[in-house]
Structure 1
Amino acid sequence: MESCCDLQVDVNGEETFMVDKKIISSFSGRLSKLFAKSRSSVNNFKVIFHDFPGGGENFELVTRFCYNNGIIEINPSNIALLNRAAHFMEMNESVSRRHNLLEQTEKSLEQISYWSWSELLVALKQCQDLPPVAKSSGILQKCLDSLIGRVALASGSEASPYPSNSSPDSSGFRFSCDTRSTESLKNSFSRVTWWFEDLLVLNPNLVEMVVKSMLSRKYDHAIISRFLFYYQKSKFVTATSVEKRKIIESVVDLFCFLDQSSVSCKSLFGILRVALSLNISKGCRIKLESMIGSQIDQAALDNLLVPSPHGSNYLYDVNLVLRFLKAFLRGGISKISPVRLRRVASLVDLYIAEVAPDPSLKPSKFIALTSALPGSARESYDGIYSAMGMYLEVHAGLSEEEKMKICCTLNYDKLSSEACMHLAQNTKFPSKTTVQALISQQSKLKNLLHETNHSRSFTDSPCSISSNGSRGAKDDSQEQIVLYAGKLDISADNERLRAHLQGMQWRVMELEKACRKMQTQMAKIMKSKTTSHSNAISLPKLCS
């Protein structure tokens, strides 16, 4: 075919091609329409493309197709480029029924099940390098379906089955590059993670499509989670700050689609530390903090010790921990098991003890930490009391009113006797807290006396009187309650209360001795009844 160069084509400002207008337009509906509208008598035309897919290299492939009378070798390395160019240039059956590029690429795509694993990755990488409109052609989705189907079969996943001609034993299901077989890949990687490294060639947008397709096929969330952590860590090695931010935001968004039990809390903290230096979006940060907060019971103290943001005076980011706790409690206390709640309380107590010596920590933040969890979360407030002591020692300049606000979060009923006695003599605490500690101790003693009197009235029943003569020797191994008040250094106004408290303590000790004797007596009665094979009634221990 005789040709002339009467058409000048500028491709994206990269290259300029001189081609035959008649030959090119005979295969391109876009150019034929353009020339049909032109009324110019000029023989030489110039066409400028600003967004030609694949640039000058791909336009050269298109010209070869046209000059070769609609024939070109289509393979996985160029199918995505040619398919997109065919859409762009309108090289469809409306222009040429027998030799149109769009139909040829779509027929070639039907052989995707016979592509090797490496060829499939090459095609996917080309798809991601093309403009977004390339996704509308359908080639990207077909490549994704093929990739995920192969991963599912090779990993033994419960994902949707792939066509039988793509099984690992078939000629079309070749995972490896030309020099590596399927078996060598399985030996190099574990059965479920062998594909992790290969997918590093994909950008975050394409990884998002891969993961969402996996989720639609019920793929194992734990494996997807491991892949996302691997992807983030591996891509960070060579990524710029902008690329790192994009990767973090994409990975965090995908974590939200997973079962949170499959996402490692420790690894999330690793992402958080990196994300804080990248200035990620507010929405991404909220999602990340919410995921961490929902499983904060799995965290360790070191995880919480995140340095404060730039410009803050205090050592650690207390506000971050408060947001974690808010996320943890978001569903309501009733939905959190007592075991998890106590575990978080223990962790928070350790954290409070760590930040309490910080001289820059404001009282409002300290109060927020100590009151962040409900009272039912802690069985003992001794840890909180100890942290308060450290805080008040460092912040000795606080007013009595500020000190009282801090101490208001202390539950005196859940303080041990030792802590109460220590508090009564602790000059760092306000004087009012001394009275509250003593009142709490008095209340405990009254309850103990009531229980002891109730037990004694039970032993005065006819059953116990009948066995009054069989009292045994004192059992030194029995556990006894020792209440020691010590010397209380309090004001004269509280002296009467202290004396009353000591008197009650001595009375309890005397009652405890009597209770121990009665317990020994009842044990002998039970033993004698068992020996005589009578129907003995099991009696409870009166003291323990």
Structure 2
Amino acid sequence: MEPCCGNLEVDVNGEETFMVDKTVITQYSSKFAKLFGKSSGAARGKLKVIFHDFPGGAEGFELMLKFCYNNGTTDISPSNLFLARSAAEYMEMKEPVADVSNLLEQTEKCLQEISYWTWSELLVALKQCQNLLVPDSSVMVERCLDTVVGRLLLASEASPCPSTSSTDSSWIRFSCDSKSTESVKTSFSRSSWWFEDLLFLSPLLVEELAKSMLSRKMDHAVISRFLLYYQKAKFSSAKTDEKSKIIEMVIDMHYVMDQSSVPCKTLFGMLRLTLGLNISKCSRSKLETMIGSQLDQATLDNLLVPSPFGINYLYDVNLVLRFLKAFLRQGNGLVTPFQMRKVASLIDLYIAEIAPDPCLKASKFLALAIALPDSARDSYDELYHAMDMYLEVHTQLSQEERLKICCGLNYEKLSPEACQHLSHNTKFPSKSTVQALISQQSKLKNLLHDSLSTTSYNASPCGSGGAAQKGQNDRTREEVVLYAGNFDLSNDNEKLKAHLQGMQWRVMELEKFCRKMQIQMAKITKSKTSGHGYPKSLPKLCS
């Protein structure tokens, strides 16, 4: 409404210039009252005020003018509430200079009726709020978002038919016939019908919305699906920097949610999206921590992430090491032995996959090999074969580097077949071969000790267990022959070979003694049944 006497020129954000009556405006605006003092008379010359950041621009200023020139009244609705309130706050219309109405009071009365707004009105209000760039701490934004969440919770409890942002007078159609209900079920999920309606929100407001959802105990799985839906829909048209903000928001919100509601596959999907984006270190660390906590659910394909630009490795080994660190950081209370073994098996597959990479440094290979505790592996055969592959490709390694790599092996947990292969493997240092043989010698000593103990236990008057013991002795002798006969040792280790051959001879002597004892036991049993006494003595165990 154009004033009849314009003695003040107002430039609003360079969009439009208004000629207004200074006396009228100062009645309602403390900002203008302070600027021009108590004088209400006509100025000798025209004054000019320039605004550079008036909220809502020319539209917001015009709405404020209508209020002033209409004796302190105007139509406030959800469609212009935030525009009017922002203009009133900017013009400091909290307390009127004269005895007139307060624009802020009128907007507050309208805001108090927000629970009666339709779904469409809520969406319009949110759009206006976003366009005005109202700070996320604003009471208006909080109340509007909280009302949206309340409606969604009510909808999920009542299982209503969804209503998109149409001109429907009701935010939800609670009375639906069976046909329309069936139609809705085929096109919407009862928990996701509102996803499309809220795609206009900025990442900042989506974050505030998600926080409100979490505070109201909304299902975390539904929140996660909405965030991922939002991210996928926005990425198709977003610029690179916008994509970074979106994925950072999605990661940050998932980090504070229940991790069981976020599948491992979903987390690796987020990781793939971040590869070409410059996201913050904090968000990246949060994502890696979440993945690490579920590493036992990952697959080999998940871990095969290409190395970042500037690194020669084929795959990002440092990333996997960070995953392992996050996995182990959970502590013994949260990681079960079964999970630990699954991760160890996965890492062994990963090490075997990266071993042929000619650019992979020995330090990185070893770091992966020793990242998990020894208890995580029941067998080191797979790790040994991966080392064998690595040494075959990296022929330029020094003897010292080869020894360091072999430190990742636990020779006690190598199978006889792996040890036999190692004894012929010229790619491994001779010290490793000797260490494997010593380990297997210790196993044989324990095996012989168990055999002797079992023989003494089975030397009963009934002579039971003879056949079983003979089978055990045969197996023992076969294993000794395996080690003593098939190991190809160097001249420096001939003594060790002779010792193993001596062990084979002792097993044969043990078999002879067992047969002799069995014969004696048979005679005792026969003598007892025929009425004769026991012999005076039994043969002593050979030393």
The normalised TM-score by structure 1 is: 0.84
Name the counterpart of 1:403: 402
Within 5 A, what are the aligned runs for 1:91-106? 91-95=93-97, 99-106=101-108
SS in 2 for 1:201: coil
How far has the Cα of 1:472 moved from its partner?
Answer: 7.2
Cα displacement (A) at 1:201:
1.3
Q: 1:468 corresponds to which residue?
A: 463
Deviation (angstroms), 1:132: 3.9
**Alignment RMSD (CA, Å):** 3.2
Q: C-alpha displacement at 1:404, in angstroms?
A: 0.7
Distance 2:414 2:282 in 1: 41
Question: How many Å separate the matches in 2 of 1:470 and 1:446?
Answer: 22
Question: Is the Cα–Cα contact under 8 Å of residues 195 and 230 in structure 2 kept in the other structure?
Answer: yes
1:21 paired to 2:16: no
Residue identity opposite 2:49 in structure 1:
V
| Cα 1:231–1:472 shift into 2, 3 Å | same
Distance 1:513 1:60 in 2: 113
CA distance in 2 between partners of 1:267 and 1:292 (Å): 10
Structure-2 separation of matches of 1:506 and 1:267: 61
The correspondence of residues 327-338 of structure 1 with structure 2, limited to 5 A, is 327-333=326-332, 335-338=334-337
- Which SS does the other structure have where 2:266 is aligned? helix
Q: Structure 1 221/391 Cα, relative in aligned 2: closer, same or farther at 3 Å?
A: same
Alpha-carbon contact 1:116-1:177 (below 8 Å) kept = no
Deviation at 1:431, TM superposition (A): 1.1
2:79 paired with 1:77:
yes
**Aligned residues, how many?**
502
Quote the offset at 1:433 in angstroms. Answer: 1.2
Deviation of 1:175 after TM superposition, in Å, equals: 6.3
One-letter amino acid of the counterpart of residue 65, structure 1:
F
Structure 2 residue runs of 5 or longer lacking an equivalent are 519-543
- Secondary structure of residue in 1 paired with 2:486: coil
How far apart are the structure 1 equivalents of 2:512 and 2:299? 45
Q: Distance between the aligned counterparts of 2:38 and 2:243, measured in 1?
A: 48
Aligned mates of 2:293, 2:354 — CA distance in 1:
23
Q: Distance in 1 between matches of 2:305 and 2:354?
A: 11
Return the offset for 1:285: 1.7
Deviation at 1:478, TM superposition (A): 13
Kept after mapping to 2: 8 A contact 1:116/1:176: no
Q: Which residue of 1 aligns with 2:60?
A: 58
Q: Distance in 1 between matches of 2:501 and 2:76?
A: 98
Aligned equivalents of 1:247 and 1:428: distance in 2? Answer: 50
Deviations 1:373-403 (A, max 9, x none): 1101111100110000000000112111111
Aligned-partner Cα distance in 2 for 1:88–1:99: 17
How many Å separate the matches in 2 of 1:83 and 1:260? 40
Worse overlay, 475-484 or 398-407: 475-484
Q: Which residue of 2 aligns with 1:178?
A: 167
Shift of 1:46: 1.1
- Distance in 2, matches of 1:448 and 1:470, equals 18
Which is worse superposed, 280-289 or 443-452?
Answer: 280-289
String of CA shifts for 1:341-381, please: whole Å, max 9, x gaps.
11110111011001100111111111111011110111110
Q: How does 1:67-216 map to 2 (within 5 A)?
A: 67-95=69-97, 99-133=101-135, 135-136=137-138, 138-156=139-157, 177-179=166-168, 182=173, 187=185, 188-216=187-215
Instruction: Give the drift of 1:432.
Output: 1.2
1:489 alignment partner in structure 2: 488
The unaligned stretches of length 5 or more in structure 1 are 157-166, 520-544
Alpha-carbon distance in structure 1 between the residues aligned to 2:316 and 2:90: 53
Q: What is the Cα deviation at residue 515 of structure 1?
A: 9.2
Distance (whole Å) between structure 1 residues aligned to residue 509 and residue 319 of structure 2 = 53
Q: Which sits farther off after the overlay, 410-419 or 484-493?
A: 484-493
Tell me, in whole angstroms, the C-alpha distance in 1 between the residues paired with 2:221 and 2:99.
Answer: 50
1:161-180 CA distances to partner (integer Å, 9 max, x unpaired)? xxxxxx8889xx97652259
CA–CA separation in structure 1 for the residues paired with 2:513 and 2:49: 110
State the one-letter code of the partner of 1:211. Answer: A
Q: Mean Cα displacement is larger for which, 35-44 or 286-295?
A: 35-44
Checking the alignment, whether the CA contact within 8 Å between 2:458 and 2:466 is kept in structure 1 is: no
SS of 1:16's partner is: strand
- Deviations 1:433-470, CA, capped at 9 Å, x for gaps: 1111111111111111111211111112xxx31x2389
2:530 corresponds in structure 1 to none
Contact 1:480 1:512 in 2 (8 A): no
1:383 corresponds to which residue? 382
Q: Within 5 Å, which residues of 2 pair with 1:302-317? A: 302-317=301-316
Letter in 2 for 1:81: L
Aligned to 2:538: none
